[in-house]
């Protein structure tokens, strides 16, 4: 596992989304069969493929579903015993993945065999499909078991419309240490200091540092860290009207601003502004950070890449009352 020896726990990200797949008629026909408790193959020439394909796999030319009922019994043509299942596997106890050639089909189908122990698995063994009681028309509505465990008809389900949609929820968790320059930057924020990096070649200060100066192709380390001011000038902004999507928590419009901090050459971006009305917000406006009390600062929204997350450490940005900065000079910082 990744380790962070610098005082910050590793960063965790979960990519989670319920994808909805439209099936088209051929895969839809197969999944409708599964929902109804039977295995359908598709005849293409001399072959019967299960699952069926909407094309001839040799030529790519179209093939309509010529459905043939196959199974529920079949023979294992190859298998492996999965001792440590992943969270995405159909079982959380050891099981076999196998190529099963359903009776009446001419080729194997990858699926899980719940056999209890590897000693019960062998190439050529007979297996039979086991259907769940509740089925929605996905490939996980059934699995295989050794035939000696008994052939059971699929529990009946309420018939319904043909399946045209199948869901694939995915959930992937990523754990990684914060990059070293990021650790220093984040530890600085916890202490109320904004840290950038000064390029040893150009002298320009990048905030936050990236661990390198990409313009000069130079790696940068701790010795290049510099503290910059917590006050600066709005170099760019957008008013965001949140669109709805999975995981979106925002509902009301708000401002996302870029601020060129005094003493730096690249603006910080993705700064949430919620206390200054849009009508008063403008490029050139001078702002001062108002930090959250040290005990309330939270860097959890910062990852290794994005620059958003400032609202976890800074309560709000207040206009300083100084005259606006020259907007033309800010043109090159419109990020």
Partner 1 sequence: MSPNFRPVAVVATSLTPVHESFEGPEAALVMTCVNELLETTGLRREEIGFTIAGSCDYLGGTPFSFVMNLEGVGAWPPVYESHLEMDGAWALFEAWLRLQCGDVDTALVVGSGRASAGRTREVFALQTDPYTMAPLGADPVSLAGLQARALLDSGKATEADFAASAARALPGTSAAALLKADYWCDPLRAHDIAAPGDGAAALILVAGDRVRELPGTPVWITGMDHRIESHHLGLRDLTASPSTELAAKGAGAHDGPIDVAELMVVHSPEETILRAALGLDETTSVNPSGGPLAGNPVMATGLARVVEVARRIAAGEARRGLAHASSGPCLQQNLVAVLEGDR
Partner 2 sequence: MARPCAVVGIGQTDYRRRLEVSLEGLVRWAALEALSDAGLTFADIDAIVIGKAPDLLEGVMMPELSLADALGAVGKPIHRVHTAGSVGAATAISGVTMVESGRYDRVLVVCYEKQSEGNATWALSGGKSGGQGAGGTFAPWIRSYIRRSGAPEHIGWQVAVKDRKNALRNPHAHLRIPDISVEKVKQSPMLWEPLHFLESCPSSDGAAAVVLASEDLARKGPAEPAWVIAHAKRSEYASFPGRDPVRPRAGVECAEALYRRAGVTDPLRQIDCAELYVPFSWYEPMWLEGHLLAAPGEGWKLTDSGATELGGSFPVNPSGGVLSSNPIGASGLVRCLEAARQVRGTAGEHQVEGAKVALGHAYGGAAQYFAMWLVSSELQPGFG
Least gap, CB of 217 to partner 1 (angstroms)? 6
Contact between residue 220 and residue 213 where contact means Cβ atoms under 8 Å apart: yes
Near partner 1 in 36-55, by CB under 8 A: 49, 51, 53
Distances in Å between the alpha carbon of 233 and those of 68, 134, 242, 323?
Answer: 70, 59, 25, 10
Phi, psi of 284 (to 5 degrees): 100, -20
Residue 190 touches partner 1, criterion: CB under 8 A: no
Question: Hey, CA dihedral for 306, 307, 313, 318, is it positive or negative?
Answer: negative
Structure tokens given for 11: 């960063």
C-alpha torsion 311→315→320→326, nearest 10: 0
Nearer to partner 2, 54 or 318 (CB): 54
What part of residues 126-145 is at the interface with partner 1 (CB under 8 A)? Answer: 138-140
- Beta carbon of residue 209, minimum distance to partner 2 (angstroms, whole number): 13
Q: Does 195 bind partner 1 (CB under 8 A)?
A: no
Using CB under 8 A as the binding rule, whether residue 283 contacts partner 1 is answered as: no
Of these partners, partner 2, partner 1, none, which one is at the site of residue 7 (CB under 5 to 8 Å by kind)? Answer: none
- Which of 306, 244, 243, 310 is CA-nearest to residue 274? 310
Element (H, E) at 232: strand 231-240
Q: Which of 59, 60, 62, 87 binds partner 1 (CB under 8 A)?
A: 87
Is residue 172 part of the contact set for partner 1 (CB under 8 A)?
Answer: yes
Q: How far is the CB of 285 from partner 1 (least distance, A)?
A: 29
Residue 51 preceded by cis peptide, ω within 30: yes
Residues near partner 2 (CB under 8 A) are 13-17, 19-24, 26-27, 53-55, 57-62, 164-165, 168, 170, 204, 206, 214-215, 236-243, 245-250, 256, 258, 265-266, 269-270, 272, 278, 306, 308, 327, 331-335
Element (H, E) at 43: strand 39-44
Q: How near is the Cβ of 110 to partner 2 at its closest, in Å?
A: 13
Is 84 among the residues that bind partner 1 (CB under 8 A)? yes
Q: Give least dist CB 86 to partner 1, A.
A: 5
Return the closest-CA partner of residue 14 out of 146, 218, 170, 152.
170
Question: CA dist 184 to 8, 26, 178, 258, 304, Å?
Answer: 10, 55, 9, 21, 12
Range 227-266, binding partner 1 (CB under 8 A): none
* 179 interacts with, out of partner 2, partner 1, none, CB within 5 to 8 A per kind: partner 1
By C-alpha distance, which of 132, 135, 142 is closest to 163?
Answer: 135
**Burial profile 307-322: b = 16 or more Cβ within 10 angstroms, e = fewer:** bbbbbbbbebbeeeee
| Site for partner 1 contains 57 (CB under 8 A) | yes
- The residues that touch partner 1, with contacts defined as CB under 8 A, are 1-4, 13, 15, 19, 21, 23, 27, 31, 49, 51, 53, 57, 77-90, 97-99, 101, 107-112, 118, 123, 138-140, 166, 168, 170, 172-177, 179-181, 210-212, 214-215, 217, 219, 304-305
């Amino acid at each position: 596992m990744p380790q962070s020896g610098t005082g910050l726990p590793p960063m965790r990200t979960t990519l989670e989304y319920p994808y909805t797949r439209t099936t088209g008629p051929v895969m839809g026909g197969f999944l409708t069969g599964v929902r109804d408790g039977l295995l359908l193959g598709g005849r293409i020439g001399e072959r019967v493929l299960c699952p069926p394909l909407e094309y001839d796999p040799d030529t790519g030319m179209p093939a309509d579903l010529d459905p043939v009922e196959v199974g529920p019994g079949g023979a294992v043509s190859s298998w492996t015993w999965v001792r440590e299942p992943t969270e995405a596997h159909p079982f959380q106890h050891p099981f076999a993945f196998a190529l099963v050639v359903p009776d009446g089909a001419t080729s194997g189908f990858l699926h899980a065999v719940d056999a209890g122990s590897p000693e019960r698995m062998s190439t050529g063994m007979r297996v039979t499909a086991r259907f769940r009681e509740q089925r929605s028309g996905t490939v996980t509505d059934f699995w295989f078991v050794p035939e000696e465990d008994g052939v059971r008809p699929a529990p009946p389900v309420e018939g319904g419309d043909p399946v045209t949609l199948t869901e694939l929820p995915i959930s992937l968790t990523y754990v990684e240490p914060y990059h070293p320059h990021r650790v220093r930057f984040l530890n600085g924020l916890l202490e109320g200091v904004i840290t950038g990096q000064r390029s040893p070649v150009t002298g320009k200060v990048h905030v936050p540092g990236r661990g390198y100066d990409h313009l000069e192709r130079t790696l940068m380390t701790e010795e290049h860290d510099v503290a910059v001011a917590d006050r600066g000038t709005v170099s760019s902004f957008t008013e965001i009207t949140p669109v709805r999507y999975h995981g979106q928590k925002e509902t009301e419009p708000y401002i996302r601003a870029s601020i060129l901090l005094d003493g730096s050459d690249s603006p910080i971006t993705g700064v949430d502004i919620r206390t200054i009305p849009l009508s008063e917000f403008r490029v050139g406006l001078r702002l001062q950070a108002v930090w959250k009390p040290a005990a309330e600062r939270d860097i959890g929204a910062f990852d290794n890449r994005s620059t958003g997350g400032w609202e976890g450490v800074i309560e709000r940005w207040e206009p300083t009352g100084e005259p606006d900065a020259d907007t033309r000079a800010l043109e090159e910082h419109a990020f």
